[in-house]
Amino acid sequence: EAQLLESGGGLVQPGGSLRLSCAASGFTFRGYSINWVRQAPGKGLEWVSAISGTTGKTSYAESVKGRFTISRDKSENTLYLQMKSLRVEDTAVYYCAKAIFGFDEILDVWGQGTTVTVSS
């Protein structure tokens, strides 16, 4: 069974940095696109970033472009989201989610989420 497990969340001051990890089990990253989606407290879902499973191409929401970097370590089957210049509005639960094979954006397996709080 495919599973994802996020870690790395925590409390950080505005302007700080944090690196989230997403460990996969039950499948290998090869061929599967992985996305990050976040959810601010009491709010809806917001797509953040993705990395293509076939090309390695990365994509970002405008709200995080230039501040966040998505990457993957195929040997460890782990995905990362490096977050810099964090803002209060980045406070959210961050989910990593796997896309259906052959698609980049239909998300069929989600992790349980990791909470990022940006506050002074």
Partner 1 sequence: EVVMTQSPATLSVSPGERATLSCRASQSIGGNLAWYHQKAGQAPRLLIYGASTRVTGIPARFSGSGSGTEFTLTISSLQSEDFAVYYCQQYYHWPPGTFGQGTKVEVK
Asked if 110 touches partner 1 (CB under 8 A), the answer is: yes
Candidate segments 12-20, 23-31, 76-84, 110-118, binder of partner 1 by CB under 8 A: 110-118
CB of 74 to partner 1, least distance (A): 22
Asked if 45 touches partner 1 (CB under 8 A), the answer is: yes
Q: What are phi and psi for residue 71, nearest 5 degrees? A: -155, 170
CA distance 27 to 66: 30
Give whichever of 39 and 117 is closer to partner 1, judged by the CB atom: 39
Name the residue type at position 72: R
Closest by CA to 81, choosing from 106, 48, 105, is: 48
CB of 95 to partner 1, least distance (A): 6
Name the residue type at position 111: G
Asked if 27 touches partner 1 (CB under 8 A), the answer is: no
**Percent helix, strand, coil in the chain (nearest 5)?**
0, 50, 45
Give the three-class secondary structure for 88: helix
Asked if 18 touches partner 1 (CB under 8 A), the answer is: no
Q: Which residues bind partner 1 (CB under 8 A)?
A: 35, 37, 44-47, 50, 59-62, 95, 97, 100, 103-108, 110-113
